[in-house]
Structure 1
């Protein structure tokens, strides 16, 4: 592939940057954050494995067997690369409890790790290469988000699905050692495959977007490696991806200064719901479980855009509850553990006390409130009022504290699925993945751990592609 028209294009500049990354030159804190993201995502895959959306996808794909190439993380079985990416991808996002990069509106881990781990396992690549690929994928996602601006999301696109597909393409292209020209064609192939609507939020399709994005990266780079061609200047031509998927673009925002790594802006959730609910939950918790009878009203202020994202008034399903500020604030005020899956059970959804709290809560949008911030005003029956404000937009500056909190979160979520104490073995292996010379063997060891430490009630499903 030799495209003279690519000279000086933004598409080529992004491809050249991605292809030129040297994993030995990446800063240590950047690699550490990547391992934190892997730990968080890995946990969410295991916890989400038996959710209905994941089980339904596994049943469907089980009728299309393929080569056993990569591990299905919730079992000790193998599937093809594509199906492993799809299944692990949907499982990691089905609970909507994974990491976030607020400026890009992308959940960074879920379109990237399913594809990266599948290919690294199949080809026996190193843990350091896997971490580097993740960093590259995050950077391409965020740079494209800067190019597309806010209108892409406002038009109804799900950035994790659309921009995440390109991130996966860059990550897998680097692992497959594509040339910059091949990478440009891979971007063009991805542009013809990607999609994902925000109107799907609260349905099984929302987490499927993540698995599909990961699979898109595998598919596009595999084709490009075999000389499959596409529109190679897809970020530059008049009817290319940015022109069709955004009202306004910002090319000058794409090329960043040396030493800037957007992975440093990744933040993690500690409540099992959409990121738009995180600040309201944190604010509600500061009221220290007020007596319901003493509260006459609760007003929750959020950034206006969240009214169309996570403001389901009366959720009927667990998926809807994760996109309901009213439900999540009700849980927090009543003292429920918002990281527990019980908070999304049918019993909890129909609990009379939670329902009563929901009716007492009003959510409103305020253009003066910044993204991932919230204010809650509680009026008490004695006429007094109390206001709490929270900013949940800032990444953790202390990486050791972040690692500790993520290990605590993982242990709490895995305690009903795996033998007590066994999660520490998993944590140590994931956080030390940079020292693994061969992820094929690393994943074999994981399958042994998974089968030996799974509790009886944890379903073990053999699924091929």
Structure 2
């Protein structure tokens, strides 16, 4: 039995009662966070464009777009909700990239169309996450190093898996769905820092629903797409690819959503910034550093001078989310970071531009010339603030681990939702989402998060 069939059987045949309470809790947190990031995105330009587009193209009105009064087809709603969820790069990170903005739009759009319960969509979420994370483990680190955006290259199949579960497809139909989804998978890192990056997960979620829907009607694909010659791994993988790793201990190991799991972001920017920023904020406060005292700021790490976060000339709020220079400058100048840090005005302010010019990015000399299988796993980061009086202060971490937990997740959701919804709806939405496993019809949740 090949990897494609094993994964399809796992998705369709795993009973709900086998999915642990902890896995359901983590899925609940990830989905709720992504709904919040989708809501707040209705206030920015990306949100305006994608919702206008969705309304213009129309579609059978069975699924709603978060934060709006738009009702459209489930694939189109998934496109909009996935794009909204990732529009600020404020969603979670882990597994196979940004899992929530692939899985949330898939299960909400299709779940509303099919009248599913909260528990049913959470089961599909957990299983889809497992498929995406297992593909990530088997495809190899060099997949990302070659420029693919794994959130969508892996996530499109995760979406198809979740959709297949919700639609109650057979194992054979699910194999076809994965095959169809594999031909939809695409997304390149060259589009990071542009509006097209958030389009990636939206397109992946739309493609996953499309693939499962076509398969349910008898549309066919290569049923062994993952392991086939000229198939998924052959095209997307490289020297590190390991098909067996994709199904190792399938159904017996701890759920991927629990371990290695995912992190919920504190700030709306690429997680590659989330190591340097808290270190710098701590140093600024500990040593009472003022911007005019700073000669230069050094960052040494795997995402340094040669990484996609080296963007010294960015001049937009969205580009700033992917600029170490901007994030470092903002942390040093403000001694803090928040949602409101990321504006065109802030990126282009004289004080920030001056500090950005003093930021020096350096690759880790121990790993920069090593193969991807080593380089991609090396996450050590060091920051150094050099003062005009000759002093230097520094800090280091082995990898960024900061994540919101518990009530902090609720606070983030309320802050995001309150920018679009009235207070009574925010309270209702939070209550329903936190208790999602007991919601009888997912349309109740959509009632609370639309206008």
TM-score for the superposition, normalised by structure 1: 0.89
* Alpha-carbon distance in structure 1 between the residues aligned to 2:445 and 2:265: 27
Once the two structures are TM-superposed, the CA of residue 31 in structure 1 deviates from its matched residue by 0.7
**Cα separation, partners in 2 of 1:440 and 1:420, compared to 1, 3 Å:** closer
Q: 1:434-449, aligned counterparts within 5 Å?
A: 434-444=437-447, 446=448
Residue number in structure 1 paired with 2:348: 350
Match in the other structure for 2:383: 376
Determine the C-alpha separation between the residues in 1 that align with 2:34 and 2:222: 33
1:177 and 2:168 aligned: yes
Q: Does structure 2 retain, via aligned residues, the 8 Å contact 1:169–1:190?
A: yes
Match of 2:61 among 68, 87, 100: 68
1:458 counterpart residue number: none
8 Å CA contact 1:124–1:441 kept in 2: the answer is no
Query: 1 CA distance for matches of 2:54 and 2:424?
Result: 33
For 2:138, what is the secondary structure of its paired residue? Answer: helix
> Equivalents in 2 of 1:291, 1:404: separation in Å?
33
Q: Using the alignment, how far apart are the partners of 1:88 and 1:74 within structure 2? A: 9
Task: For residues 334-354 of structure 1, give each alpha carbon's deviation from its aligned partner in whole angstroms, at most 9, with x where no partner exists.
Answer: 2265232x3222211111111
For the pair 1:113 / 2:104, whether they are aligned, the reply is yes
Find 1:132's aligned residue among 117, 123, 127. Answer: 123
Q: Displacement, 1:306?
A: 7.9
* 1:389-404 → structure 2 map (5 Å cutoff): 389-394=396-401, 402-404=405-407
User: Counterpart of 1:3?
Assistant: none
Look up the SS of the partner of 1:242 in the other structure: helix
Counterpart Cα distance in 2 of 1:99 and 1:372: 18
* Deviates further, 196-205 or 361-370: 361-370
Matched, 1:433 2:420: no
| Alpha-carbon distance change, 231 to 273 in structure 1, aligned in 2, over 3 angstroms | same
Distance 1:357 1:259 in 2: 48
SS of residue matched to 1:49: helix
| CA shift digits 1:129-178 (9 cap, x unpaired) | 11111111111011111121012111111101110000000001111111
Q: Deviations over 1:389-425 (max 9, x none)?
A: 23554476xxxx7121111222333444444575333
Is 1:267 matched with 2:258? no
**Distance between the aligned counterparts of 1:372 and 1:332, measured in 2?**
20
SS of the residue aligned with 2:299? strand
User: Could you say what secondary structure the match of 1:194 adopts?
Assistant: coil
Aligned residue in 1 for 2:244: 252
Aligned to 2:394: 387
Shift of the alpha carbon at 1:371? 5.0
Quick one: distance in 2 between partners of 1:306 and 1:272?
22
* Change over 3 Å in CA distance of 1:419–1:28 after alignment to 2: same
Q: What is the total number of aligned residue pairs between the two structures?
A: 434
Q: Is contact 2:118–2:436 with CA below 8 Å preserved after alignment?
A: yes
Query: For the residues of structure 2 that align with 1:116 and 1:299, how far apart are their CA atoms?
Result: 43
Show CA shifts across 1:240-289 (max 9, x none). Answer: 11101122211221223313211122111111100101111111111135
For 1:29, which of 1, 22, 26 is the aligned residue? 22
2:138 aligned residue (117, 130, 147)? 147
1:278-293 alignment, distance < 5 Å: 278-289=274-285, 290-293=289-292
Deviations 1:66-101 (A, max 9, x none): 211111111133111111111111000010011011
Matched, 1:12 2:5: yes
Q: What aligned pairs does 1:33-48 form with structure 2 within 5 A after superposition? A: 33-48=26-41
Is the 1:10–1:235 contact (alpha carbons within 8 Å) kept by the matching residues of 2? Answer: yes
Q: 1:409 aligns with which of 407, 412, 419?
A: 412
CA distance in 1, matches of 2:335, 2:433: 30
- For residue 460 of structure 1, what is the aligned residue in structure 2? none
Distance 1:407 1:338 in 2: 19
Q: Which residue of 1 aligns with 2:371?
A: none
- What's the C-alpha RMSD, in Å, of the aligned pairs? 2.0
